[in-house]
């Protein structure tokens, strides 16, 4: 498989996971938007992937990964997230800089290397951005978190992870010192626009709905509000 083919499988899987509850098939336009290419180029690639039995593609009806395609895509995500964990935890790189490096490393095919890496890291279930790492069988660990858009005023939460981390979002979280594992207290949720007022380590900060909609959090009943 080429790197481009692998990247397509990964993009399709991420789109499928994002709309799983809707039971909708991924569309050519959605893929074109993520890859930033013309829908006609996507169609060409889909035909190639279909020939390899990796996607089930029906013109005008959209795309679905086959079992084999999904397995490959999960393996790529596993490699990517294990490498990111290694780069941050063992080499001390910033969580902002590791993504482009992991984008390259994920295309290194060596089952032995990957299993050793997983073992070396102690079989982590989440990467440094709090995204789930598929295990060796391609199963994603369950996350019982919720999006920050559903938090309730007066409760404490732990920050678990980011949905689709981007450079700018990670820089912003660095700036307000919201790290994976941070515990905060929700003071208010603005009914008008869904912005969240939170208190963390004695500091108050406001998150817009757009930011809250990218953050995964979990109610923290054990902790009093101290950081």
Q: What is the dihedral of CA 95, 101, 106, 109, to 10 degrees?
A: -140
CB burial string 99-115: b at 16+ within 10 A, e below: beebbebbeeeeeeebe
Backbone angles phi, psi at 114, to 5 degrees: -65, -45
- The footprint of Zn ion on residues 39-98 (CB under 5 A) is none
Q: In the bound complex, what is the minimum distance in angstroms from residue 180's beta carbon to Zn ion? A: 14
Residue with tokens 């990218």: 214
**Which of residues 99 and 214 has its CB atom nearest to Zn ion in the complex?**
99
Q: In the bound complex, what is the minimum distance in angstroms from residue 182's beta carbon to Zn ion? A: 20
**Which of residues 99 and 185 has its CB atom nearest to Zn ion in the complex?**
99
Q: In the bound complex, what is the minimum distance in angstroms from residue 82's beta carbon to Zn ion? A: 11
- Annotate each residue in 168-187 with x if it binds Zn ion (CB under 5 A) or - if it does not, as one string: --------------------
Q: In the bound complex, what is the minimum distance in angstroms from residue 81's beta carbon to Zn ion? A: 7
Maximal CA-CA distance, the chain: 58
Q: In the bound complex, what is the minimum distance in angstroms from residue 211's beta carbon to Zn ion? A: 19
Residue 150 CA to residue 144 CA, distance in Å, equals 13
8 Å CB contact between 50 and 63 = no
Number of residues that bind Zn ion (CB under 5 A): 1
Q: What is the dihedral of CA 28, 48, 83, 25, to 10 degrees?
A: 30
The CB-nearest residue to Zn ion is 99
Residue 6 CA to residue 103 CA, distance in Å, equals 11
Residue 173 CA to residue 168 CA, distance in Å, equals 9
Q: In the bound complex, what is the minimum distance in angstroms from residue 99's beta carbon to Zn ion? A: 4
**Which of residues 3 and 68 has its CB atom nearest to Zn ion in the complex?**
3
- Annotate each residue in 94-133 with x if it binds Zn ion (CB under 5 A) or - if it does not, as one string: -----x----------------------------------
**Which of residues 164 and 210 has its CB atom nearest to Zn ion in the complex?**
164
**Which of residues 10 and 99 has its CB atom nearest to Zn ion in the complex?**
99
Does 10 help bind Zn ion (rule: CB under 5 A)? Answer: no
**Which of residues 98 and 183 has its CB atom nearest to Zn ion in the complex?**
98
Q: What is the dihedral of CA 42, 43, 45, 48, to 10 degrees?
A: 170
Summarize as ranges the residues that interact with Zn ion (CB under 5 A). 99
């Amino acid at each position: 498989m080429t790197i481009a083919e692998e990247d397509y499988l990964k993009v399709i899987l991420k789109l499928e996971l994002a709309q799983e509850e809707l039971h909708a098939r991924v569309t050519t336009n959605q893929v074109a938007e993520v890859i930033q290419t013309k829908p006609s180029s996507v169609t060409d690639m889909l035909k190639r992937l279909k020939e390899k039995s990796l996607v089930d593609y029906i013109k005008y009806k959209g795309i679905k990964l086959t079992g084999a395609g999904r397995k490959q895509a999960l393996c790529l995500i596993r490699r990517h997230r294990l490498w990111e964990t290694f780069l941050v935890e063992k080499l001390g790189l910033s969580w902002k800089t590791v993504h482009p490096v992991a984008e390259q490393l994920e295309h290194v095919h060596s089952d032995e290397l990957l299993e050793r890496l997983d073992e070396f890291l102690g079989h982590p279930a989440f990467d440094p951005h709090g995204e789930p790492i598929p295990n060796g069988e391609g199963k994603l660990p369950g996350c019982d978190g919720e999006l920050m858009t559903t938090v309730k005023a007066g409760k404490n939460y732990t920050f678990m992870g980011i949905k689709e981390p981007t450079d700018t979002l990670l820089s912003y979280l660095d700036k307000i010192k919201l790290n994976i594992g941070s515990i905060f207290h929700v003071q208010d949720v603005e009914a008008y626009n869904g912005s969240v007022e939170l208190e963390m380590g004695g500091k108050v900060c406001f998150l817009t709905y757009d930011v809250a909609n990218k953050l995964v959090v979990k109610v923290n009943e054990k902790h009093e509000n101290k950081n």
